[in-house]
Amino acid sequence: MQPVNKMRTEFISKSVNEGFARVVAASFVAQADPPIDILADIRTAVSEAVTNAIIHGYDEKEGIIIMECLLYTDHVEITIEDFGKGIDDIEKARTPLYTSKPELERSGMGFTVMETFMDSLTVESVPGKGTKVHMTKQLEYR
C-alpha cells in the first residue's frame, strides 16, 4: 500500500525541539481529520520518543534526530531515529517504571506511554549506532 502523503524532518537534539516535533507531527496528521483525542495521543507519543532520543540517545549532547511520517488512508506510521549511543537491553528499557536516569526524576514511563497511546511500537537499536522507534496509529475508531 502506498502512503497518500509523507513527511521527513531533521532537527538537532535540543529539548525545545520536543514541542516542535509533536506540533509538526500533529499538523501533518491533521490533514486526515482524525478525532481530536487520536491526534492528542500522537502528540504525546512523539514527544516521548523525541525526549528519549535527547535524554538517552544523546545524553543531552547535540545530535541529529530524524522524524518521518507516512500517512495512509486509515492510519499513520511514524518513525523517530537517532544516531546516539543506542540501547543495550531493549526489553529492560521497555519495562514500565524502569529508568536509567532516576536522578532526572524521569518516571520511567516513556515506552509504556508510546505503547498505550499508539497501536503498535517497534524499537530497533544497535549499541553505539543509534535507535529507531517505529509507531503506528489508526486514524479512526475501529
Partner 1 sequence: MDVRFKRDGMTLIVSIEGEIDHHTSRLLKEKMDSKFIMEPVKNMIIDLSGVTFMDSAGIGLIKGRMDRVSSVGGKISIRNPKPEIIKMLKMSNIYNLIS
Q: Does 82 bind partner 1 (CB under 8 A)?
A: no
Place of cell 514511563: 109
Closer residue to partner 1 in complex, CB, 116/120: 116
Residue of 135, 117, 115 lying closest to 68 (CA atoms): 135
In whole angstroms, what is the distance from residue 80 CA to residue 66 CA? Answer: 6
Q: Does 5 bind partner 1 (CB under 8 A)?
A: no
Residue 24 in contact with residue 67, Cβ under 8 Å? yes
Q: Does 113 bind partner 1 (CB under 8 A)?
A: yes
* Displacement of CA 16 from its chain's centroid (Å): 15
Q: Report the residue from 110, 125, 130, 137 that binds partner 1 according to the rule CB under 8 A.
A: 110
Question: Is 94 an annotated catalytic residue?
Answer: no
Q: Select which of 77, 106, 115, 124 is catalytic.
A: 106
Closer residue to partner 1 in complex, CB, 37/89: 37
Residue of 125, 34, 28, 24 lying closest to 81 (CA atoms): 125
CB of 40 to partner 1, least distance (A): 5
Question: Is 48 an annotated catalytic residue?
Answer: yes
Q: Does 51 bind partner 1 (CB under 8 A)?
A: yes
Question: Is 52 an annotated catalytic residue?
Answer: yes
Residues near 80 by Cβ (< 8 Å), separated by ≥ 6?
21, 46, 49, 50, 53, 65, 66, 67, 132, 133, 135
Which residues are marked as active site? 48, 52, 106
Binding site for partner 1 (CB under 8 A): 15-16, 18-19, 22, 37, 40, 43-44, 47-48, 51, 54-55, 104-107, 109-110, 112-113, 116
